[in-house]
Amino acid sequence: MLTGHTWDWQDTSPPRHAWRDTIIYEAHVRGLTIHPSSGVRNPGQYRGIIEKIPYFQALGVTALELMPVQSFDRSGNGRRNPQTGEELQNYWGYNPIALFAPMADYAGDVPPGDEAASFKLMVRELHRAGIEVILDVVFNHTAEGNENGPTYSFRGLDNAIYYMLGSRGEYLDYTGCGNTLNCNHPVVRSMIVDCLRHWVIHYHVDGFRFDLASVLGRDEEGRLLPNPPLLEQIAEDPILRDVKLIAEAWDAGGAFQVGSFPGQRWAEWNCHFRDHVRRFWRGDAGMTGAFASRLSGSSDLYQHGGESPVNSVNFITSHDGFTLNDLVSYSRKNNEANGEDNRDGTDQNYSENNGCEGPSTDPEVEAARLRQIKNMLATLLLSRGIPMLLGGDEFRRTQLGNNNAYCQDNETSWYDWTLAERNSGLLRFVRRVVALRKAHPVLRSEHFYSPSELTWFGRDGGLPAWQGSENRLGCMVEAGDGHLCLLFNATRDICRFVLPRGANGEWTVLLDTSMEAPDDAPETGPAVPGGGADGLLLNSRSLVVLESR
């Protein structure tokens, strides 16, 4: 629908943070503020996000990555929650019907035609606060589904052009959603690029995360192309040249392109980072070398192609899987409420319940869980690459073990803001680690470490044990006029680390995940001598950061 509305951007402009300075916060527009505890006047709406801007600023994130806001079909698949009888909805939004239009339901009670203004208001105020807006976009399939699905648009316009079809006219499905857009057909390619331009020109968005992006590199018969025309056109388009491009570099047809997605402009969700960091802190044998590679920017994945650490979006959790709290509280998924007999959702979670399955009031269990949460969040924020936080992980948001909550438009998925008060110590810790990252450019450089910048060592000061079950290592990093020392102990034993001498023979503790708040990230930490045989005792399953100037 065309309207005569104009929009006053009030001299705001996109923040355009460099990739190296970017910290992403993944969130769902409705889920972020719809819970009664959110305290906003416009719950579940674009305007509700505006009311949370002070929170995002205090946390220190630089970009919101919003789950789908392109208008989508919220209706479910006919299933009901077997526990409550509730009709299940398409909550996440990966079922688009109008790619050029913002989701009207998130605009609240506004006159018809004003939905776009609500979205623009959100973008304008986020930009005023220095926060970028990245949209999670779906160009791999539509809500028209398979041969038995509804006809909304492309099927009626020209089915054979817009969708990949087999020899008998059946839909080829590389998405797990019933159909696959024929992305590299000239007509479809032009539509997708025009759509991206539309969101940049008219809505001032700063970037896009492409769902199942490997589909964008397939030809009309589903074969992966070495130089997909669509991806090249997006990367070279003058209107899109300054926007951030993020690929979920796989699809449901077996393509897996992490480390090899076509084009150097693209950052990629690095699932190797997710899995290797989880497995290291869980204590899996043989993970020390892989953990070190992820911490230092994943050069094994990106250096050979002339890329850099900022081609890697590092994450521990995302919307697709356990929340971080649930990762350390459940050994098995708990998806019965989805109505699929717990068959949906991955079983490869690398999770651990730390003493009992699900919620616990045992102080030892809770202390172990909190320490592991801090270990993984600190690892994420200390690693080279682009860190992405799943919204709510900083205050232990839980989905009660559901690792595929795509259909749960209820308290399973909604952000319970009382948890931010109950876990204020963790929230403070995350803010402090974000500030630490920002204060030390060496941690967020867009280049891989040189041998003179980074030195790895084992607990005895010698070379680390890269293989086996040692799961303990340290590194010293040149940081301007001083050094940082990062120590990792993923075992269940206390161990002593012999420390390097450092810049002046003495170290100051910046972080210690084994301590309770506020001593886990002290304003002024204790001093520790370097270079001696006494070293530093590291508690079990803990991470320590030291600084020497």
Active-site positions read: 211, 248
- In order of 446, 503, 529, the CA distances from 532 in angstroms are 34, 14, 7
Q: Report the Cα 435 to chain-centroid distance in Å.
A: 19
Q: Which helix (H) or strand (E) holds 538?
A: strand 536-538
Instruction: Locate 364 and state its tokens.
Output: 């030892």
SS3 assignment, position 526 = coil
In this structure, which amino acid lies at residue 19? W
Cite the DSSP H helix spans in 345-496.
363-382, 418-422, 424-439
DSSP state of 540: S
- Could you tell me how many residues make up the chain? 549
Instruction: Locate 107 and state its tokens.
Output: 């605009």
| Residue 389, strand partner residues | 25
Report the alpha-carbon angle 155-156-160, nearest 5. 50
Please tell me the distance from the alpha carbon of residue 466 to that of residue 521, in angstroms, as a whole number: 29
DSSP state of 86: P
Please tell me the distance from the alpha carbon of residue 246 to that of residue 461, in angstroms, as a whole number: 39
CA R_g for the chain:
24
Cite the DSSP H helix spans in 204-319.
229-236, 271-282, 288-295, 299-302
231 contacts: CB under 8 Å, gap ≥ 6: 216, 217, 262, 263, 266
482-489/132-137 β-pairing: unpaired
Would you call the peptide bond into 518 cis, given omega within 30 degrees of 0 as the criterion?
A: yes
160 contacts: CB under 8 Å, gap ≥ 6: none
Angle between helices 186-203 and 154-162 (to 10 degrees): 130
Please tell me the distance from the alpha carbon of residue 221 to that of residue 214, in angstroms, as a whole number: 14
SS3 assignment, position 535 = coil
Please tell me the distance from the alpha carbon of residue 68 to that of residue 135, in angstroms, as a whole number: 7
63-66/132-137 β-pairing: parallel
SS3 assignment, position 82 = coil
Please tell me the distance from the alpha carbon of residue 467 to that of residue 487, in angstroms, as a whole number: 17
DSSP state of 448: P
Please tell me the distance from the alpha carbon of residue 41 to that of residue 46, in angstroms, as a whole number: 11
